[in-house]
Amino acid sequence: MKIALIAEDERDCVVYRELVTKIRAGIEIAPPIPCQGLGNLKKFFVGYLKYFEYSVQGIQKAIVIRDSDCEDGARCEKELEQILRKSHFNASFPVHFHATKCEVETWLLADEAAVNSVAQMRGKTGRSKRVNIQFESYRNAKELFSKMLSEAKLPDDPTVYQLVANAADIGRIAARCPDFKRFSSKIHAC
């Protein structure tokens, strides 16, 4: 199955690409589209869906993902659905929307072993510590994840985000972040 992925920024795209392929085997992801922020995602995602419809062969499903910033995820998803409906664009493939509870970094924080594994693989001597927070209600996940990377002596960049997502245990993320199960079910849907 070939899917299109549209997300807020490059870091989000690389993380979601890694997680999606862990959740469901046999998925091919067309080059994801980073929108450079939530405002641009809302403004341009319909145009990107049209791009996937008319310029990329074989798309069977699209997923548009944003952070909920700890707001009501269902409301955030409905807002995106309304934007698509008002555009009158009907893709030939199903389009799913997901608002990650708080931020994607919430999920990366849930498995500090992944950060330490990447640090070790890159020859770094630092180690990140386990965080004890309410993962899906913690408003500063991005800053806390940046601190975790700093403790492990890793740069806060898309490459490291991708490596951490690749090393992450999705079972551990699901155990600590119940919203991850909702995301997984959307990946399995259709």
From CA 135, how far away is CA 95, in angstroms rounded?
A: 27
Collapsing DSSP to helix, strand or coil, 172 comes out as helix
In order of their start, the domains of the chain are 2-102+178-188 (3.40.50.1860), 105-174 (no CATH)
CA 111/CA 131 separation, integer angstroms: 9
Q: Which two tokens stand for residue 133?
A: 């927070």
Q: Which residue has the tokens 């996940």?
A: 141
- Rounded to two decimals, the pTM is 0.94
53: which 2 tokens?
């419809």
Per-position pLDDT tens, the chain of length 190: 999 999 999 999 999 999 999 999 999 999 999 999 999 999 999 999 999 999 999 999 999 999 999 999 999 999 999 999 999 999 999 999 999 998 999 999 999 999 999 999 999 988 888 888 888 888 899 999 999 999 999 999 999 999 999 999 999 999 999 999 999 999 988 6
Whether the CB-CB separation of 49 and 90 falls below 8 Å is answered with no
Helix (H) and strand (E) counts for the chain?
9, 5
Q: Which strand (E) or helix (H) includes residue 113?
A: helix 112-121
CB of 176 within 8 A of CB of 138? no
> Measured between alpha carbons, how far is 177 from 109 in angstroms, rounded to an integer?
10
Q: What distance in Å separates the CA atoms of residue 164 and residue 149, rounded to the nearest whole number?
A: 10
